Amino acid sequence: MNKETVFHSDIRSRKTTPGAYEWWYFDAVSDDGATEFVIIFYEGNPFSRRYIKNQYNGSPARPGNHPAISISIYQDDKPVYYSFTETKESAASFDDQFPSMQIDDHSMQGSLHGDDVIYQLQLNEKLPSGDKIKAELEFRGPLLGAESFGPVQNKNHAWDLIQPRADVTGRIQYSSRTQTENIIDFKGQGYHDHNKGNEPLKNQFDDWYWGRFHFKNHSLVYYLMDHNKEDTFAWIISKDGLKVLEVLDTVQLQDFARTIYGMRSARKLTFSNGHAQVLIQQTKMLDSGPFYQRFSSHAFVDGSSSQPMTSRGITEYLCPPRIYNRWYWPLTNMRIRYKQESPHWVQRSKRLYRWTW
């Protein structure tokens, strides 16, 4: 894992190797805890059945042929909107000089305003099922220093931590099952990072736990890449994101559970460093698939330089080797929409499509 915190590195990288990937990740939890969302922009969509097939059948497997975006909105720990769309290369544009991109009618624009980094996200789509969304969101946080989170460890995967904590505001409009328009005036705390790799995910690690939590005066960010045991870290960070207060590099995984897809993951993670400890309880599963899980979770911090703290946040788990298992492709075909092809028949049904969430 190559860790960076440089705003100007948050641009599209040059990728030519089949299996190379890149994504820009945004999430947020509202101040009242009722609304959570995750939005991810991709070039070289690592979950794409089309991209994976091209890597093995001799067809062109250029990352640029597979731009995509996924959008997940949750209310009271239940999904109310979900989409994952891979579009045509001609429908996507990426700025190589500045954090800016457009995928279909969705866009992301990053800018500097004094000592603040601001990202503007705009979403606009209508799905084959009839569900639709429009949103305008702003992520605002302090500009980080270049050496905030440690040295280079593994150049095959780069993690740019751009906004460990951001103030998020905006409006989300989405259609319900009855086609009623729902409006969320959003205000909360968010997070943004940027990941990229020059080879398929399965070549780099076997599984990956990561998440983030925001407290009154601190934030917690963690990741655990099990394939490379030295890539195990959790940070307690000052509210302004400019100072690392604790580094916790020892982890214990407990309470393993298996889903109907055979995915086995820990529901409890404990990070420590000898005098500080963080307990993460992955409480409510928001998204369960054959290779990916997302949770609404709670974190409990004790023994640090501050008083004991508790917070609610989003955590995730990924098992990359499963992405390449063809047995699971019929399931992912129901969830990922490929604009180069006709929509899956399940995606055209409002009722059946919701069952895939």
How do residues 283-317 score in pLDDT, each as one tens digit?
A: 999 999 999 999 999 999 886 555 678 899 999 99
Please list the residues that pair with 306 across neighbouring strands. Answer: none
Pair (137, 75) in one structural domain: yes
Range of the domain at 217: 205-324
Q: Could you list the beta-strand ranges (E) of 153-229.
A: 157-175, 181-197, 208-214, 218-225
What's residue 205's pLDDT?
83
- CA–CA distance, 28 with 38 (Å, rounded to integer): 7
Pair (158, 57) in one structural domain: yes
Question: What is the CB neighbour count within 10 angstroms for residue 354?
Answer: 15
Residues contacting residue 216 through CB under 8 Å, at least 6 positions apart: 239, 309
- 253: pLDDT strictly greater than 80: yes
**pLDDT tens-digit series, residues 144-192:** 865 555 554 556 778 888 999 999 999 999 986 666 789 999 999 999 9
Pair (234, 283) in one structural domain: yes
Pair (274, 133) in one structural domain: no
Question: What is the CB neighbour count within 10 angstroms for residue 145?
Answer: 12
Pair (76, 166) in one structural domain: yes
At 196, which CATH number?
2.40.370.10
- CA–CA distance, 24 with 123 (Å, rounded to integer): 14
What's residue 152's pLDDT?
45
SS3 label, residue 49: helix
Average pLDDT over residues 198-220: 89
Pair (234, 264) in one structural domain: yes
Pair (85, 219) in one structural domain: no
Pair (34, 179) in one structural domain: yes
Pair (266, 313) in one structural domain: yes
Pair (350, 259) in one structural domain: no
- CA–CA distance, 239 with 216 (Å, rounded to integer): 8
Pair (93, 147) in one structural domain: yes
Pair (145, 239) in one structural domain: no
Comparing C-alpha atoms, which of 237, 7, 4, 239 is closest to residue 115? 7
State the total domains in the chain.
2
- 349: pLDDT strictly greater than 60: yes
Q: Is the pTM of this model over 0.85?
A: yes
